[in-house]
């Protein structure tokens, strides 16, 4: 390979890297972020686990059209010192801030059942629940959200609408939930909801590229 060929390859590689949009996966610890990443990438080496705090590093996966970014969980993690929790949250916030103009979408995953308990507990203390804070943070940066209400298997089918409408209200969106295209109920451990999320990711990635004249 001569010098120019080598240079051309490098340049192409660099440009490819530069223009590939990112899709970040965020959520509290143990909500199913890595379960989702494992499903969508098909990679068996993505660790999932019963204990919170399984993923402590930011991991990037090349999905061809975009880069998928698996984040550590934010918020309380049993057995993890508060200082480390704060450090992780700062890392996530900085990553998103520093890459905001490259992020085509944020897949925010919540545990639909635990969500209410946690939100109420924080509000009683007069604090802004971290899930809502994260949602506001993402949307303030003009990043398109995909909110995945996971672990719906823990909720009776006849209560689904009520629960999803409740989540909607917390996000300051008027119910009914299904008028909002960004909310997806899911049971990721059974692969349910994954196709819907994939479709939404691709829609947003393509729109992102179109608006920026990429390709
Ligand atoms: N009941 C139920 N459990 C699920 C579902 N999806 C994932 N889980 C379980 O939730 C636990 C946590 O899953 P992970 O994917 O490791 O969660 P995470 O958000 O990556 O967690 P951290 O890396 O600790 O932040 C595992 O035991 C999963 O099997 C679901 O749809 N329903
Ligand atoms: Mg994880």
Residues 65-121: tens digit of each pLDDT: 999 999 988 876 677 788 888 888 899 999 999 999 999 999 999 999 999 888 888
Listed in sequence order, the DSSP H helices in the chain are: 3-19, 33-41, 82-99, 112-124, 130-140, 160-170, 194-211
Determine, yes or no, domain membership for 3: no
Query: Is residue 105 in some structural domain?
Result: yes
Chain mean pLDDT for the chain = 89
pLDDT (0 to 100) of residue 75? 74
Is residue 69 within 8 Å of 59, Cβ to Cβ?
yes
Question: Which pTM was predicted?
Answer: 0.89
CATH number, domain containing residue 63 = 3.40.50.300
| pLDDT averaged per 10 residues in sequence order, the chain, 215 residues | 68 63 94 94 85 77 95 78 87 94 96 89 85 94 97 97 95 94 97 98 96 79
Cα–chain center distance at 112: 15
Domain that holds residue 66: 20-212
Would you give the distance in Å from CA 89 to the centre of its chain?
14
Q: Whose CA is nearest to atom 32 of ligand 1?
A: 151
Q: How far is the CA of 97 from the centre of ligand 1 (A)?
A: 26
Mutating to test ligand 1, I would choose from 24, 27, 49 the residue with most ligand atoms within 8 A of its C-beta, which is: 49
Ligand 1 pocket: which of 28, 30, 41, 47 to mutate (most atoms within 8 A of CB): 30
Determine, yes or no, domain membership for 11: no
What phi and psi, each to the nearest 5 degrees, are found at residue 83?
Answer: -60, -40
Q: How far apart are CA 192 and CA 190, in angstroms?
A: 5
Do the Cβ atoms of 102 and 31 come closer than 8 Å?
Answer: no
Place of tokens 């590689």: 13
Give distance in angstroms: CA of 54 to centre of ligand 2: 5
Q: Is residue 166, in this structure, part of any structural domain at all? A: yes
**What phi-psi label fits residue 2: left (phi over 0), alpha (psi between -120 and 50 degrees) or beta?**
beta
In the structure, ligand 2 is a single-atom ion and the residues with CB under 5 Å from it are 33-34, 54-55
Any domain includes 1: no
Total domains in the chain come to: 1
Phi and psi torsions of 146, nearest 5° = -125, 110
Q: Give the ipTM of the model, two decimals please.
A: 0.98
Residue 7 confidence (pLDDT):
67
Distance (angstroms) between ligand 1 centre and the Cα of 18 equals 32
- Residue to probe by mutation, ligand 1, list 29, 32, 78, most atoms within 8 Å of CB: 32
12 is a domain residue: no
- Residue 203 covered by a domain: yes
CA distance readout (Å), 45 to 34, 92, 192:
10, 22, 21
């Amino acid at each position: 390979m001569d010098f120019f060929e080598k240079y051309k390859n490098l340049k192409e590689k660099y440009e490819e890297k530069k223009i590939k949009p990112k899709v970040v996966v965020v959520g509290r610890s143990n909500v199913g972020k890595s379960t989702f990443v494992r499903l969508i990438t098909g990679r068996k080496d993505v660790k999932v686990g019963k204990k919170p705090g399984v993923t402590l590093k930011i991991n990037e996966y090349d999905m061809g059209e975009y880069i998928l970014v698996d984040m550590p969980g934010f918020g309380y993690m049993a057995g993890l010192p508060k200082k480390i929790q704060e450090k992780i949250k700062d890392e996530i916030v900085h990553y998103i801030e520093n890459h905001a103009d490259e992020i085509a979408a944020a897949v925010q995953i919540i545990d639909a059942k635990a969500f209410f308990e946690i939100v109420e507990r924080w509000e009683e203390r007069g604090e802004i629940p971290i899930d809502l804070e994260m949602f506001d943070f993402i949307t303030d940066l003009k990043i398109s959200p995909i909110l995945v209400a996971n672990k719906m298997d823990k909720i009776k089918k006849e209560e689904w609408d009520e629960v999803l409408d409740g989540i909607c209200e917390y996000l300051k969106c008027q119910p009914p939930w299904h008028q909002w295209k960004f909310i997806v109920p899911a049971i990721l451990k059974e692969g349910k909801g994954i196709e819907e999320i994939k479709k939404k990711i691709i829609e947003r990635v393509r729109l992102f590229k179109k608006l920026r004249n990429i390709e």
